[in-house]
């Protein structure tokens, strides 16, 4: 509809309103007064709307200026601290004495937040809150995986120097079979510890979201469950089922973080996590899983992919600087639930 047609329609509506008002015995003066009041109300509403838009633009402009100033100051400080050595020395010399008092004040200020959100205390035990997915070592040497064509079996070898080389290998240990029922028995005997300190579960089954649900229903054939443990008390309990393999020196320090992977016989393939320490062992407690070791991004051009079938009591050793493991089902005719234990040593 054109502007002329809209204007004509508006005039017709006004004339109709005047006609209806006259039929109701309303004088021409009163009709004009009513129209003026209506127009006045519309003008006030438009002015209020324009004022709100103006205020919003002012707020946005102020926030943008603050952000730009903060960014500029941050860049200047970064350049001074990393390029200008005298400034860097002066700042470090004067800031070091403030680190402990500053952290003490920060901890005092965080107490009300922790009381309001007690779940945040779980972050105290995290060595890394956010993993950098773009991490890349540009000049990493790849000779430890360059000539690897298969995962070798070093069971029975007494040359312990081979155990700490960069070559991935498997060994058969005295590890006792750890069925899912055995995990359940350990959980039932130590419910309070696991509920309080190791309740982190990731599952492909929507019915399993915590450790209580994990051990209250049966594991379906296509279900994958990752149980992460990163505290001392539940870690000690799990080590009663998965003791240190003989290939690991007593002088090696075990990471607190560890995983128990529970997989149905038809669970989909998944990438194993990168733990805290670089030397990783996967202990197979029950069932079978095929582990594919893909070279890391840094070594993908010179190293090749290898794989191995991990059977009960066998331990796979590798260095995650060079390998990215993928776990997948071994055969379609298997019916046993797989239980794998992932830990790392420094």
In a domain, 122, yes or no: no
In a domain, 96, yes or no: no
Do 150 and 289 reside in the same domain of the chain?
yes
Out of 67, 100, 121, pick the residue that ends a domain: 67
**pLDDT by residue (tens digit) across 284-308?**
999 999 999 999 888 888 899 999 9
In a domain, 304, yes or no: yes
**pLDDT by residue (tens digit) across 130-166?**
777 777 777 888 888 888 888 988 887 776 566 566 6
The per-residue pLDDT for 179 is 92
Do 161 and 248 reside in the same domain of the chain?
yes
Do 295 and 180 reside in the same domain of the chain?
yes
Mean pLDDT of the chain: 82
Do 51 and 172 reside in the same domain of the chain?
no
Q: How many domains does the chain have?
A: 2
In a domain, 291, yes or no: yes
Do 54 and 185 reside in the same domain of the chain?
no
Lowest mean pLDDT among 21-25, 76-80, 166-170, 319-323: 21-25
Do 159 and 261 reside in the same domain of the chain?
yes
Greater pLDDT, 309 or 61: 309
pLDDT above 90 coverage of the chain, percent: 23
Do 167 and 31 reside in the same domain of the chain?
no
Greater pLDDT, 99 or 234: 234
In a domain, 130, yes or no: no
Do 153 and 57 reside in the same domain of the chain?
no
71: pLDDT confidence band, cut at 50, 70 and 90?
confident
Lowest mean pLDDT among 23-27, 99-103, 232-236: 23-27
Q: How far apart are the first and last CA of the chain?
A: 77
Do 208 and 337 reside in the same domain of the chain?
yes
**pLDDT by residue (tens digit) across 30-62?**
777 776 777 677 666 666 655 666 666 777 788
In a domain, 110, yes or no: no
Residues 334, 282, 257: CA angle, nearest 5 degrees: 125
Distance CA 224, CA 345 (A): 25
Out of 47, 67, 87, pick the residue that ends a domain: 67
Exposure string of 99-117, with b = 16+ CB inside 10 Å and e = fewer, is eeeeeeeeeeeeeeeeeee
125: pLDDT confidence band, cut at 50, 70 and 90?
low
The per-residue pLDDT for 47 is 60
Q: Rounded mean pLDDT of 15-31?
A: 70
Q: Tell me which residue range forms the domain holding 250.
A: 143-345
Do 59 and 203 reside in the same domain of the chain?
no
The per-residue pLDDT for 54 is 65
CB atoms within 10 A of CB 173: 18
Lowest mean pLDDT among 76-80, 204-208, 270-274, 334-338: 76-80
> What Cα–Cα distance (Å) separates residue 340 from each residue in 184, 195, 267?
15, 21, 13
CATH code of the domain in which 318 resides: 2.60.120.650
The per-residue pLDDT for 263 is 92
In a domain, 127, yes or no: no
The per-residue pLDDT for 196 is 84
Do 207 and 332 reside in the same domain of the chain?
yes
> What Cα–Cα distance (Å) separates residue 293 from each residue in 7, 149, 283?
76, 11, 15
Out of 48, 67, 86, pick the residue that ends a domain: 67
In a domain, 78, yes or no: no
Contact 247, 315 (CB under 8 A): yes
Do 61 and 154 reside in the same domain of the chain?
no
CB atoms within 10 A of CB 203: 18
The per-residue pLDDT for 159 is 62
> Mean pLDDT: which of 151-165, 173-187, 247-261, 326-340 is highest?
173-187
Greater pLDDT, 286 or 252: 286
């Amino acid at each position: 509809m054109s502007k002329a047609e809209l204007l004509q329609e508006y005039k017709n509506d006004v004339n109709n309103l005047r006609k209806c008002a006259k039929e109701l015995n309303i004088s021409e003066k009163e009709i004009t007064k009513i129209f003026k009041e209506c127009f006045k109300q519309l003008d006030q509403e438009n002015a209020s709307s324009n004022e709100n838009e103006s205020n919003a633009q002012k707020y946005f402009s102020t926030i943008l200026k603050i952000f730009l100033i903060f960014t500029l100051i941050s860049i200047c400080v970064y350049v001074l601290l990393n390029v200008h050595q005298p400034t860097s020395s002066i700042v470090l010399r004067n800031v070091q004495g403030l680190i402990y008092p500053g952290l003490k004040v920060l901890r005092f200020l965080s107490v009300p937040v922790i009381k309001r959100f007690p779940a945040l205390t779980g972050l105290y035990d995290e060595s890394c809150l956010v993993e950098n997915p773009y991490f890349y070592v540009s000049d990493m040497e790849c000779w430890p995986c360059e000539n690897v064509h298969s995962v070798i079996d070093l069971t029975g070898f007494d040359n312990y120097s081979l155990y700490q080389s960069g070559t991935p290998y498997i060994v058969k240990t005295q590890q006792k079979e750890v069925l899912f029922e055995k995990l359940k028995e350990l959980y039932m005997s130590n419910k309070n510890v696991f509920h309080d300190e190791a309740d982190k579960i990731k599952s492909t089954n929507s019915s399993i979201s915590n450790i209580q649900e994990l051990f209250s229903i049966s594991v379906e054939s296509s279900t994958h469950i990752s149980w992460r443990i990163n505290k001392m008390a539940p870690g000690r309990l799990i080590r009663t089922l998965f003791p240190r393999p003989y290939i690991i020196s007593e002088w090696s320090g075990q990471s607190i973080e560890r995983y128990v992977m529970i997989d149905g016989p038809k669970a989909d393939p998944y990438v194993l996590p990168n733990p805290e320490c670089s030397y990783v062992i996967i202990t197979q407690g029950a069932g079978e899983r095929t582990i594919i070791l893909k070279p890391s991004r840094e070594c993908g051009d010179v190293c090749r992919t290898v794989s191995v079938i991990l059977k009960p009591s066998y331990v796979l050793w590798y260095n995650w600087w060079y390998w990215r493991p993928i776990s997948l089902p071994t055969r379609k005719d298997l019916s046993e639930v797989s239980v794998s234990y992932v830990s790392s040593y420094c």
